[in-house]
Chain A
Amino acid sequence: MSPEEICSALQETFGAAITEAALEGAHPHAVVRADKWPEVARFLRDDPAMGFDLLRCISSVDLQDESKLACVYDLLALSSVSATETMSARHQFAVRVCTERDDPHIPTVADVWPAADWHEREAYDMMGIVFDNHPDLRRILCPDDWEGYPLRKDYVFPVSYHGIPGTTEHELTNPRH
């Protein structure tokens, strides 16, 4: 299926839950409302026409200007439609879920795709997005007592950690990229 077909099928089934269809460009995706996302995810996995059985990546995005955080879920359908097409990707699609920057909450899809478990922990660790109903939402890369979320654009670098001096110059606590 083409991205247009996938997107129109989603809009047909879920209506207003699909707030936007960004089909132009190299990365066609649909924007899904956060509260409907687990439902949409189950449909994308279980519907025979969709069959997205592989969650390739979760990318978290800091939309500082819009005061929002977003997660982009890259999906791939690997299961073949016929016996001759074994292990060739049927189609791919992406879904973007936005949430408020001040109080970021997105329902988990770890029960839909087990791969989401650690990806969501990383998004929580780096960007501070809280995934509701996640089985084990802890930091995955940083130490448990780490302060702040390092990949947010307004992150302030630590001056020291457990007595080890961190940045050596003051202006380096908030370097511009």
Chain B
Amino acid sequence: MSWIENRFEEGLMLTTVDWALNWARTYSIWPLTFGLACCAIEMMATGMSRWDLDRFGAGAYRATPRQADLMIVAGTVTYKMASRLKRLYNQMGEPKYVMAMGACTVGGGPYFKHGYHVVKGVDLIVPVDVYVPGCPPRPESLLEGLMRLQDIIGHASRAKDPVVDANRRLLST
């Protein structure tokens, strides 16, 4: 962009639409207040002062899916909960992201064999962007997962991969 830079008065910054939108989205991920089991305790700890999720702009837990960008599925998802979880996901506005936190949501975890009521991974219900393993994961792991999500959001391009959004919608119907 050098051909256009410094050709206007000072105080004017030039950038791309992608960069500006990604920058705004990356540092204002509002998660949904949504905890299912013991992983939610770690998620709450992550939001508190010692780890302080708000340093990364993701500390504003929203009480409604319509205001949330990120669903951290923290805990064991049962079949009974699956339909509710999907409804919450469908109520979130685009762009929306899902983080599978903990062994249960990654693939059934300790309930893989003997959990007759446990969904063997939340990616069977909603599309997952980041998997955070652990039982439960330490807050540092969750922060790492959040930063990986920020990488994904930061590299998104509305022109190059509109397919991503289309796929998402396909999966969520």
Contacts and interface: CB of A to CB of B under 8 A. Distances in A.
Interface in A111-140: none
- Kindly state the interface size class of chain B when it binds its partner: 10 to 19
Nearest to B114: A175
B98 to A, nearest CB: 16
A165 B124 CA distance: 8
Nearest to A166: B120
Contacts of B51: none
A164 B84 CA distance: 13
B79 interface: yes
A164 B113 contact: no
Nearest to B81: A143
A38 interface: no
B79 A150 contact: no
A157 interface: yes
Contacts of A164: 79, 82, 119, 124-125
Contacts, number: 32
Interface in A140-169: 141-143, 150, 155, 157-158, 161-162, 164-168
Interface string B49-91: 0000000000000000000000000000001101100000000
A162 B116 contact: no
B82 A142 contact: no
B79 A161 contact: yes
B134 to A, nearest CB: 21
Contact of B116 (A143, A158, A168): A158
Q: List the 9 shortest-distance A-B pairs measured between CB atoms, nearest first.
A: A161-B79, A143-B80, A157-B116, A150-B116, A164-B124, A175-B113, A164-B82, A164-B119, A175-B114
Interface of B: 79-80, 82-83, 113-114, 116-117, 119-120, 124-125
Given A175-B113, A177-B114, A142 B80 contact: yes
A162 B83 contact: yes
A81 interface: no
Nearest to A173: B116
A9 interface: no
B124 A162 contact: no
Contact of A165 (B80, B83, B114, B120): B120
Interface in A33-71: none
A172 interface: yes
A84 B170 CA distance: 70
Contact of A150 (B82, B83, B117, B125): B117
A155 B120 contact: no
A143 to B, nearest CB: 5
A103 B154 CA distance: 61
